[in-house]
Structure 1
Amino acid sequence: MTLIPNQPYPDLPAWEDLESILRNGWGVPGAAQSFQGYAEKNSVTVFGRVQIGASHVIGDLPQHFRAIRHLSVQALILGGPSCLVELQGGTASGGWQLVMSAYSLGLTNAQMMAPYGGKYLSIAGSYPRKAVA
């Protein structure tokens, strides 16, 4: 392996499977779903297809996937509209979470879950990564 100077994580695998940290209620065993991330130099790329089960998608992102600030990633409800998925930090547990944004649809969480619960959400995007001290 060739190391790149000043690369904070030179030995990370190319893509990491993040399905194991999906929140309860998300995903159905045996369903056609995946959620993966790729951390490199100063950015993170996430890609996934999960079944909608609640507004919180991921409960606590690993440290090397955390963003430099709160931001949004584009998502698409399959058979429905596009929406945003927000990366939020500073939760009670101190972790970062990935949350489906009901506000991007102009709905409350309850209004969003009624028509879209059980449908698939496709997430894809990149964002700047927070430096690790």
Structure 2
Amino acid sequence: MIGDKSVILFDGVCNLCNSSIDFVLKRDKKNRFLVGALQSEKGTKLLSRFDSNPEYLDSLVLIEKDQIYFRSTAALRIAKKLTGLWPLLYGIIIVPAILRDAVYDWIGKNRYRWFGKKNTCRLPSPAEKAKFL
């Protein structure tokens, strides 16, 4: 967490991850999130504060109030803070993490093949700069 904002770290070269961040930014009407690439200097520095491998790229990471969340738990906690009906997805949290994460990992292992990959990390547009680390 930086200030009063939660931080989302994502795989900056993954097309699925970038599309997911676009989705979140459009629905973050209360300005609750900052985002950054796991590969960025700031992203690796944040991960190292939590004794996490700074080269970890296999999951969406959410940092809230000095807590770190990975995989499906991170995704559901993010959905809970979005506008619209998306917070209803948080109800899936009752499904054991081992099952939720199995689905998350299956998608994660195939994300580059299904959705493609960029050669470099995404740069924010001028309108998005305030939302990026």
TM-score by length of 1: 0.26
> What is the TM-score when the length of structure 2 is the normalising length?
0.26
Q: Which is helix-richer, 1 or 2?
A: 2
- Which has more radius of gyration? 1
* Higher strand proportion (structure 1 or 2): 1
Q: Which has the higher contact order (CA 8 A, sep 6+)?
A: 2
